[in-house]
Homo-oligomer: A and B are copies of this chain.
Amino acid sequence: MKETFDPQLLTEQARGVRRAARQLARQPGSVRDDALQHMAQSLRAHTEAILQANQADLARARHNDLSDAFIDRLRLTPERIEQMAAAIDEVRALADPVGGYDEMWMRPNGLQVARKRIPLGVIGIIYEARPNVTSDAAALCLKSGNGVMLKGGSDAYASNLAVVTAMRQGLRASALPEDACQAIGFVESRAREATTHLLTLSEAIDVIIPRGGKGLIHFVHQHSRIPVIKHDEGVCHLVVDGSADVEVVERVVLNAKTQRPGVCNAAETLLFTRNALGVHVERCLKALARAGVKLHLCETSAAIAESLDIAYTPATDQAYATEFLSLELSVKVVDDLEAAIAHIDRFGSRHSEALLTENYPQTQRFIDAVDSSVVLINASTRFSDGGQLGLGAEIGISTTRMHAYGPMGLKELTTTKFVVLGTGQIRE
């Protein structure tokens, strides 16, 4: 299974994906959908081979003393493979994002000018241990007419390769070039070297989407000569104004912090404006304490917690800047909405922020002034997700402002070209 890393081979592979992507982009959506159907079928048909490859990865992971949580993410079962196939079917059922015209207008000289949706080209996905990312990402890229270079974690090398082998058979079965989906994986020591080389292939790859922890994102950002769409941390804020409905506040605060604390759109800081002192702060602190949330409190909220006999840690600037990804929350009472916005400016990561209020001018001010990728009014930050916002499937959440900002669906895997229809016009 060990392979030698050969930069020339990797370059050739990427060029092959580029060629295949051009062919793919020229097919109508029905042909791509047919390929996705074959890919899902092929994944199901290869269940045994994939499980066998996965056993090899699992054995290596145990040998390398990797954590139980890690091994659980790596493990495939017949059910998980069926879920992967079903996810491909779901992507197939989405509307075709390419080929349509976004807009078309007429110039005074009679030229008709339009923007037509086309695939981005070749997308490089660099990710870590979950083998299901392999099939999910490939399905989204191929549905949108893109070629895809998959560089999974080296610990999942055999599993990823088996999944890709199955998917490439699906492409072949629908007479599409199998090179439109290419996996590269180099076990252990040469993996970083291969990734670094991949990140220089700007002639063959149009965009890199890293999916993984901070270390991976940072590495890709430092080394890439290809545009990167980053999915960085989410230090998400909930701002509560005194005018907000008390039931809404308690429900949304609990949901944003506790429904799934380990994800990027969970709330990490709760800001109360001074007019929310009293019922809002008290009810929230009680509910959060009951839910087992560890509280980092400012002086004002700490005084209230003490009166309610609720345990806490004094909040620090470091806590305000922390993405806890766990049942921990910073709480601060600020003077007013402007002070809340200033706090978000200083400590936020521009991911998602919500304001709970019944005051109309505040909603307009918050929407205008907060430049995070998702700004919510009277709703949980947990809705900052492509599926929840109605984009269909999601390839990630971009914290890069270029091209796509916030949750990315199929449309964000496309771009537009200009189409100009004339009758012999020349430029004077």
Interface residues of A (CB under 8 A from B): 22, 25-26, 99, 105, 107, 111, 113, 116, 118, 120-121, 202, 206-207, 221-222, 225, 227-229, 245, 247-248, 251-252, 254-256, 259, 345, 363, 367-369, 371-380, 382-384, 388-390, 400-403, 405-407, 415-427
The distance from the CB of A234 to the nearest CB of chain B, in whole angstroms, is 14
A390 touches B113 (CB 8 A): yes
Given contacts A121-B401, A227-B227, A402-B206, are A377 and B426 in contact (CB under 8 A)? no
Question: CB < 8 Å: which of B105, B372, B418, B424 contacts A251?
Answer: B424
> Which residues of the partner chain B approach A248 to less than 8 Å between Cβ atoms?
423-424
Q: Which 9 A-B pairs have the closest CB atoms?
A: A379-B422, A248-B424, A255-B426, A403-B403, A382-B427, A376-B420, A378-B422, A374-B418, A227-B402
Could you tell me the distance between the alpha carbons of A406 and B418 in the complex, rounded to whole angstroms?
7
Q: B residues within 8 A CB of A221? A: 202, 225
List residues of chain B with CB within 8 A of the CB of A400: 227
Give Cα A401 to B118, complex, Å. 10
Query: Which B residues are in CB contact (< 8 Å) with A254?
Result: 426
User: A423 near B378 (CB under 8 angstroms)?
Assistant: yes
When A415-B402, A424-B379 are in contact, do A225 and B225 touch as well, CB less than 8 Å? no
State the CA gap A416–B367 with chains docked (Å).
Answer: 12
Residue of B nearest to A398 (CB): B415
Contact A26 B375, beta carbon cutoff 8 Å: no
Question: Are A407 and B418 CB-contacts (below 8 A) given A111-B379, A388-B427?
Answer: yes
What is the distance, in angstroms, from A302's C-beta to the closest C-beta of chain B? Answer: 27
The reply to whether A22 and B345 contact each other, CB–CB distance below 8 Å, is: yes
- B382 near A417: Cβ-Cβ < 8 Å: no
When C-beta atoms are compared, the residue in chain B nearest to A229 turns out to be B402
Q: How many angstroms from the CA of A247 to the CA of B424 in the assembled complex?
A: 9
Q: Which of B345, B402, B418 contacts A402 (CB 8 A)?
A: B402
CA distance in complex: A228, B251 (Å): 43
List of B residues within 8 angstroms of A99 by Cβ: 368
Is A111's CB under 8 angstroms from B345's CB?
no
Chain B nearest CB: distance from A216 CB in Å? Answer: 16
Provide the bound-state CA to CA distance between A416 and B423, in Å.
Answer: 35
Q: Could you give 11 example pairs across A and B, Cβ below 8 Å?
A: A22-B345, A99-B368, A118-B371, A206-B402, A373-B417, A377-B419, A378-B421, A378-B423, A379-B421, A380-B426, A384-B420
Distance between Cα atoms of A422 and B372 in the complex (Å) = 17
Q: A259-B426, A377-B420, A379-B423 are in contact. List 13 more A-B contacts (CB 8 A).
A: A111-B383, A227-B227, A227-B228, A227-B402, A245-B424, A248-B423, A376-B420, A377-B422, A379-B425, A383-B427, A401-B415, A403-B403, A407-B418
Query: Which of A374, A377, A401 has the most CB atoms of chain B within a 10 A radius of its CB?
Result: A401
| Residues on the B chain within 8 Å of A247, using CB | 424
Q: Which residue of B lies closest to A407 (CB)?
A: B418
